[in-house]
Amino acid sequence: MVLDGVRATNPARTALDLACRYPRGAAVAAIDALARATDLKMADVELLADRYKGRRGIRRARSALTLVDAGAESPRESWLRLVLVRAGFPPPQTQIPVYDEYGQIVAELDMGWEQLKLAVEYDGDHHWTDRRQFRRDITRSEAVAHLGWIVIRVTAEDTEGGVIARVSAAWPRRT
């Protein structure tokens, strides 16, 4: 396609190119962001993948494309979701709305399993450095806990093993 006189690929083709060329984690994070920012339809990407069956990296692309979720709001949320899936947990739902007993929204959780009331949240640096955000997080955490949710908060300092251990410890309390 041509945009303002410049040749460019459409979102579906861009997604396929990313999935073919980059390692799975990087590809998924990039395609998550692309899907969030555009009207990317995974069915369109799958049709392209079928058309280019012999293309280099197409097997890797098909694997990555099954993991794309437009609900990821950052590359670290994509990373966190992939850690959970690789560890054998069911794919978590993203951006889960939580309502109080009056039907008012209390929070939108990054990811988790709504039926279990188990969530995993990625907290970037601004959650700790912005006093207003820090205070909002405290109030929000208390409200969500009051509604029966277990929320595991993850930061950049957490390791994959640490995240998996914490979710694994919480899982039996909910299943």
Domains and CATH numbers, the chain: 2-65 (no CATH), 75-173 (3.40.960.10)
- Residue pair 85/28 in contact (Cβ under 8 Å)? The answer is no
Whether pLDDT at 128 is above 80: no
Q: What percent of the chain has pLDDT over 90?
A: 82
* pLDDT category of residue 26 using cuts at 50, 70 and 90: very high
Structure pTM?
0.87
Whether pLDDT at 67 is above 90: yes
Using the Cα atoms of residue 37, residue 40, residue 46 and residue 50 in order, give the sign of their dihedral.
negative
**Residue 138: what pLDDT?**
84
**2/141 Cα distance (integer angstroms):** 47
For 136, list phi and psi in degrees, rounded to 5: -60, -40
**Residue 162: what pLDDT?**
97
* pLDDT category of residue 125 using cuts at 50, 70 and 90: low
